[in-house]
Structure 1
Amino acid sequence: MQTVPSADGTSIAFEQHGEGPPLILLHGGSSPQYWKPIVPRFAEDYTVVIPHRRGVGESGDSEEYSLDRGVEDVRAVIDAVDGEPVLFGHSFGGLLAIETARTTSVEKLIVYEPAVLVGEYREQADLASQMQARIDDGDRRQAMKFYIREVMHGGDIDDLDGWLAEWPPWPDIVALTENIARINRAIEQYRLPDSLDIDAPVLMLTGTEGPPHLQDGIRAVDDALSNRQLVEFEGVGHGGPTEAPDRVTAEVRPFIDGEENPVPESGD
């Protein structure tokens, strides 16, 4: 484990696996362990770098948090690694990757269902406050269940407890409840610009079973970009990189390696 100071002095930890050009994986509302199925698929050819988000894992924390602060943390890790990296972000990590790539030089950008809220959903979003109300009532587990129902399942699942019983991060993820509530505040405050000035090629990934509001968000990001590809995975949900690591890798590898015109599963 290595650490680097962010702009405000907070210590940001990051793991490194393998050797080669840097591939930085940014986790969303889960822990850095989210990327465990992906690491061995790239570590033979790349230096896979996994930052621990501020307040998670081995990283330090601060009383205040914002999207800008999260971007500063990612920049600090980029400055600490050797070479211009490929950024691959999932969910909130995808939003961090997008915002980092707007102001920092990266080789390529990959995002799986970035946490971008648009339209009426954004105007009415109150996930953070509803989580906080449950936290204030002393029920952190219910706050996390509420988050998972909304973000992983679009608010619609018949047997959440049964699903959670088979979901590896549960119940350890309850420890991140307060941290996840605050990143949702940052997500709800973010407004996608009409155009995203990102020089690097962008690969966007989504699943047909992901929550509708994040499918709307990634298509809005698609409209805001110029140099991009969009790939949709049939039958895959919001946890695509861990649900279907082989299928995701089969799309990501050609994109990173520079193979011309990879054939997507679907999309354009």
Structure 2
Amino acid sequence: MDKKTVSRDGTSLAYQRTGQGPAVILVSGAMSTGATVAPLAGPLSRRFDVIVHDRRGRGESGDTAPYAVEREVEDLAALIDAAGGEASLYGISSGGALVLRAAASGLPVRRVAVYEVPYAVDEADLQRRREYTERLTRALAEDRRGDAVELFLRETGLAEEMIRGARQSPMWSDMETIAPTLAYDDACMGDSGVPRDLLASVTVPVLSVAGGASPEWMRQAARAVAEAAPNGTYRTLEDQTHMVDPNVLAPVLAEFFAR
């Protein structure tokens, strides 16, 4: 990241900016930095001024306690100011939940696109999410960062043998470093059900995308987002999973943001 801006509470935010045209800000999900969404910046920068940033508590950005979702909305406000006062937003997974909250807050946002925000679609899933929140909160309060990362990886459906392998990998220490931000993403998700009242207040166009090879519940959640937003559209990308190919997603986002 080669640029810095400062959020309302004094937190330093690191970001990169490429391309020319209308501004688009890309927002990563849990356990990730701006590097996760950076592959989208290349193809989008042919038509847009693309901003990729490290969310607070990650990478080269700072952090300021206590955390609140409103602080991350203010972070996006600072980035929008840096972009010239208006931008479209894209968020993947829990980053999608954040950009939807930002749009609902009244920031100068033109359009919002999200990919597979993992909202619960039934009561059993909601209960499991509540249990995850309780266990995550306890692990982080006791500074058991490795356990917190394991909880998250299980929540994503990663097999136990893969989790054991991850613990032995060189990346594990980096994952433990940003483990406290798992609570940030959990807060952005709210109670994890589809926030229909919040979405009803998002008046700008919303594109909700899911992968055709992802679990059915993810497509259900993505459809529900589009249905709850007054100006929402749903799109399926055939053969894609939660690890979406940026070269498949980028043309869809470009067409939507260019309207």
Q: Give the TM-score normalised by the residue count of structure 2.
A: 0.83
SS at match of 2:51: strand
CA distance in 1, matches of 2:9, 2:216: 36
- Aligned partner of 1:219 in structure 2 is 223
Q: CA deviation at 1:104?
A: 1.6
- Aligned partner of 2:154 in structure 1 is 149
Question: Using a 3 Å threshold, how does the CA distance of structure 1 residues 23 and 251 change in structure 2: closer, same or farther?
Answer: same
Question: Using a 3 Å threshold, how does the CA distance of structure 1 residues 137 and 10 change in structure 2: closer, same or farther?
Answer: closer
Identify unmatched segments of 5+ residues in structure 1. 259-268
Q: CA deviation at 1:84?
A: 2.4
- Aligned partner of 1:73 in structure 2 is 75
Structure 1 residues 81-109: Cα deviation after superposition (integer angstroms, max 9, x where no partner): 12521211111211111111121222221
Instruction: Return the letter of the residue paired with 2:246.
Output: P
The question of 1:253 aligning with 2:258 is answered no
Identify unmatched segments of 5+ residues in structure 2. none
- Aligned partner of 1:113 in structure 2 is 116
Structure 1 residues 112-139: Cα deviation after superposition (integer angstroms, max 9, x where no partner): 1124345422344232332344456665
SS at match of 1:37: helix
Q: 2:196 aligns with which of 182, 193, 209?
A: 193
Instruction: Return the letter of the residue paired with 1:193.
Output: R
SS at match of 1:238: coil
- Aligned partner of 2:29 in structure 1 is 28
Count residues with an aligned counterpart.
251
Q: CA deviation at 1:230?
A: 0.9
- Aligned partner of 2:92 in structure 1 is 90
Question: Using a 3 Å threshold, how does the CA distance of structure 1 residues 212 and 31 change in structure 2: closer, same or farther?
Answer: farther
The question of 1:239 aligning with 2:240 is answered no
- Aligned partner of 1:261 in structure 2 is none
Question: Using a 3 Å threshold, how does the CA distance of structure 1 residues 213 and 7 change in structure 2: closer, same or farther?
Answer: farther
CA distance in 2, matches of 1:169, 1:234: 31
- Aligned partner of 1:37 in structure 2 is 39
SS at match of 2:189: helix
Q: CA deviation at 1:171?
A: 6.1
Instruction: Return the letter of the residue paired with 1:178.
Output: P
Instruction: Return the letter of the residue paired with 2:150.
Output: K
Task: Please report the RMSD computed on the Cα atoms of aligned residues, expressed in angstroms.
Answer: 2.9
CA distance in 2, matches of 1:101, 1:134: 32
CA distance in 2, matches of 1:136, 1:256: 41
The question of 1:206 aligning with 2:210 is answered yes
- Aligned partner of 1:176 in structure 2 is 178
CA distance in 1, matches of 2:170, 2:103: 31
CA distance in 2, matches of 1:164, 1:235: 26
